[in-house]
Structure 1
Amino acid sequence: MNKYKTIGKIGEGTFSDVLKVQSLKGGQYYACKQMKQHFESIDHVNNLREIQALRRLNPHPNILILHEVIFDKKSGALALICELMDKNIYELIKGRKKPLPEKRIMNYMYQLFKSLDHMHRNGIFHRDVKPENILIKQDLLKLGDFGSCRSIHSKQPYTEYISTRWYRAPECLLTDGYYSYKMDIWSAGCVFYEIASFHPLFPGSNELDQISKIHEIIGTPPMKVLNKFKQSRVMSFDFPIRKGKGISPFMPSLSNKSLSLIYAMIQYDPDERICAHEALQHPYFRELRWAEKQAMRRKMRLVENPLERESLNLRRIAKEDQRQNFFRQTQEYPLGLHGLPYAVELPKVTVPAVTNLTSYSNPTFQSIFALPATNRQVQLLQPITYFGTHHKSEKQKEFKSPVKQYHLPALERRGGGY
């Protein structure tokens, strides 16, 4: 840790403390996850699931980046240097009163599903998806804290501690560790509701109350579903039959498409529950998929057409050169290229309202001076030079213009427009 300076503490978890640190070499800021457990060897460190998962899943735009692993052999201390994000989802919605715009919620959920899809495709499931483990920086979302993750292909049952109670799927509550990657989808559905409502969907006080809260919203499942769980746990499943209130009474502002997706995510039977790849194809995300395709097409056109790419680069370079030349000229010639013999302060003009003017092509003007119908040569007027004075010269006094002067009426400015 000699390469980093500690700035302050960001958070504290069961197994680690998170600090904000600064690189002494480059000055960049990072998040340092200091493990409370001490490790015996570098092999022990390299076998940690969290480190293996982050190395396998990176790089991905929606997975937290692991920059460095620091292990002190003498003390056995371990620290993970990760990218620093602004806040987590819990900090975003905590104490907030004004609802988030639906487009922002949609954007966050789309990115969350992308992280889950990438993770599941690579044979890993998180097991602790919750608002505190979902990090954001402006419009960017990343999934972090892979300390509880497991391989999808590892042997059941899973016995160690998993997921915070409010976000646990029914199969985690009703079985002795017989669950799959679909538990991440259930947790993400709970997060979806919480981002939209600022309240947890199933805030159970214990495991039995947790099941009761789930049945209160989505109803008691059919016996064929409960029988799947009975095979792996010796306990009574004599739950009172409930129809379920649904989500709509609690969140009437949610659109039908968003409700449809949430219900697909919190299906009681994990076999009927939507997967991350299917969720990304849901009608709720149609607008984002279309925008993504358009961006991809533009990128492919540039890749496939070198001339267009070169033309675009040349335009950018020319525009930058033009900007730099203008800036250089304004520095070298504050009064323009020709300058003035002395500085003249112009009176300030106060305009009540100004709007952007639409550009129009310049009209062709014809002279208002009628030329005489003769072959005589037109007399040229001698230029008169001014030297910043309002007094007329002798030549000006002698000169009488044959041209009549006309005064046009002033234009009326209406609210800044024309």
Structure 2
Amino acid sequence: MGTSQRRPEPREAYFDYKAIGKIGEGTFSEVMKMQSLRDGNCYACKQMKQHFDSVEQVNNLREIQALRRLNPHPNILTLHEVLFDRKSGSLALICELMDMNIYELIQGRRHPLSEKKIAHYMYQLCTSLDHMHRNGIFHRDVKPENILIKQDVLKLGDFGSCRSVYSKQPYTEYISTRWYRAPECLLTDGFYTYKMDMWSAGCVLYEVASLQPLFPGANELDQISRIHDIIGTPTENTLAKFKQSRAMSFDFPFKKGSGIPLLTASLSPQCLSLLHAMVAYDPDERITAHQALQHPYFHQQRATEKQALASHWRKATTFFPKHPVAPELLSSTWQTPKEGQKQKQPLKQEKDHPRRPGPAYLMELPKLKLAGVTKLSSYSSLALQSVLAPGANGRVPLLRPLKCVGANQKTDAQKDIKPTLKQRRLPTVDRRGGGC
């Protein structure tokens, strides 16, 4: 299991792992640190608390389907194996083991991370969201606990709440952790889109930058009240969109909003611009993940990525030149002869030109001119001409089966043709295993 599989199928292999310790526990699962007895590596094992009856039910699990579709990606948690015990009905997902999550990274810190580090992490988060949304999936539970870190590499995990962007609304209302829940999730009866992930990402951005949550509501009403205290009440047009998808009507007193707290005075104006675009109240006006990657805040990250890509291509062209012509293949021995001239040098044996390692280069082989060989285009069979020639009425007669003659017998037409080819006896070909 050293390499990750594109589509890991469920199998019974609990005996291949031993538990080392407990990492965390949720409502529907618990995460254990496991060591593989086959390769000795440690993995994160997400043990489901739900009972499963069949392999089909396991394969239909949204989290497994999402990870299979999104893997492999540098910013998506890698699914290595799916373990399913038919007898007990237990299911476990073997994923790569990360060092910590974002919440553990910022918990207890006295000073926030540098803005360069924040931009580095947020660029990777937006990259994972863009890849996910492009593949028709939205997460619905983006929060610091589900964003994992290992050696400065960020990966999004825990796809247990994900849904397809093409699935039919309404969705579950009480989705996502309350502090990171978008207004459309709070004010509608399950009518929201993938844009909710961007709201949650904006809340994460603020929390990483200030070490404090942006909207720490105690309940649903307190949550929407805290949003209005900072952002202000939405416009009538925005509220009208929400009211169309809400059985119970609501009205809010006008509130201007105090604005995002200036606990992040050290952040650049570009960072604050991106933050405001992420937490736009109206989801139609909220920035997408793809647009966020093009924001001026990530200028340095894009330049670094472009430089790394250019370096990769430079290394690639070292082995695969732009015009792949091997000089040694264009020596005088293999020069293409001009039309109507014979080769000046005979072809050497295979042992004189050993096969060279590396990529094969496309080139035009020299035209071979063997003495005594007549061009096929100049050879015409009189027997075929007599059969295919049109009759007196201008119609081509029907083909009739040819009469077989002996090996030493020749037709009159064949006797008139002077043989130009010397008869050679071909050696027998030994075939291995009956293959062609």
- Please give the TM-score of this superposition, normalised by the length of structure 1: 0.72
Please say if 1:169 is aligned against 2:182: yes
The aligned amino acid for 2:275 is: I
Same amino acid, percent of matched pairs: 73
> Which deviations, in whole Å up to 9, do the C-alpha atoms of 1:128-180 show, x marking residues without a partner?
00000000012000000000000000000013641000000000000000000
The answer as to whether partners of 1:88 and 1:133 remain within 8 angstroms in 2 is yes
Corresponding residue number in structure 2 for 1:145: 158
User: Structure 2 matches for 1:199-278, cutoff 5 A?
Assistant: 199-278=212-291
Corresponding residue number in structure 2 for 1:316: none
What displacement does 1:295 show? 1.2
Corresponding residue number in structure 1 for 2:379: none
Query: Cα–Cα, structure 1 residues 170 and 160, in superposed 2: closer, same or farther, change >3 Å?
Result: closer
The answer as to whether partners of 2:79 and 2:94 remain within 8 angstroms in 1 is yes
How far apart in 1 are the matches of 2:92 and 2:171?
27
The answer as to whether partners of 2:136 and 2:166 remain within 8 angstroms in 1 is yes
> Which deviations, in whole Å up to 9, do the C-alpha atoms of 1:173-214 show, x marking residues without a partner?
000000000000000000000011111100011111111100
Corresponding residue number in structure 2 for 1:3: 16
1:278 match: secondary structure: helix
How far apart in 1 are the matches of 2:253 and 2:247?
18
What displacement does 1:307 show? 7.7
Corresponding residue number in structure 2 for 1:99: 112
Partner of residue 288 from structure 1, selected from 301, 323, 337: 301
Query: Cα–Cα, structure 1 residues 160 and 67, in superposed 2: closer, same or farther, change >3 Å?
Result: farther
What displacement does 1:248 show? 4.6
Q: Could you list the runs of 5+ residues in structure 2 that have no partner in the other structure?
A: 1-13, 323-436
The answer as to whether partners of 1:302 and 1:308 remain within 8 angstroms in 2 is no
How far apart in 2 are the matches of 1:295 and 1:160?
43
How far apart in 1 are the matches of 2:174 and 2:250?
23
2:109 match: secondary structure: coil
The answer as to whether partners of 2:179 and 2:223 remain within 8 angstroms in 1 is yes
Query: Cα–Cα, structure 1 residues 307 and 251, in superposed 2: closer, same or farther, change >3 Å?
Result: closer
Aligned-residue RMSD, C-alpha: 1.3
1:2 match: secondary structure: helix
Corresponding residue number in structure 2 for 1:155: 168
Q: Could you list the runs of 5+ residues in structure 1 that have no partner in the other structure?
A: 310-418
Large movers: runs of 4+ above 4 Å: none
Corresponding residue number in structure 1 for 2:43: 30
What displacement does 1:260 show? 0.2
What displacement does 1:297 show? 1.1
The answer as to whether partners of 1:19 and 1:32 remain within 8 angstroms in 2 is yes
For structure 1, which segment, 159-168 or 59-68, has the greater mean C-alpha deviation from structure 2 after superposition?
159-168
What displacement does 1:58 show? 0.1
The answer as to whether partners of 2:83 and 2:93 remain within 8 angstroms in 1 is yes
Corresponding residue number in structure 2 for 1:370: none
> Which deviations, in whole Å up to 9, do the C-alpha atoms of 1:202-242 show, x marking residues without a partner?
00111111111001111111111000000011333321211
The aligned amino acid for 1:20 is: K
Partner of residue 112 from structure 1, selected from 114, 125, 131: 125
> Which deviations, in whole Å up to 9, do the C-alpha atoms of 1:59-111 show, x marking residues without a partner?
00000000000000000000000000001111111111121111111000000
Query: Cα–Cα, structure 1 residues 44 and 273, in superposed 2: closer, same or farther, change >3 Å?
Result: same
Please say if 1:85 is aligned against 2:134: no
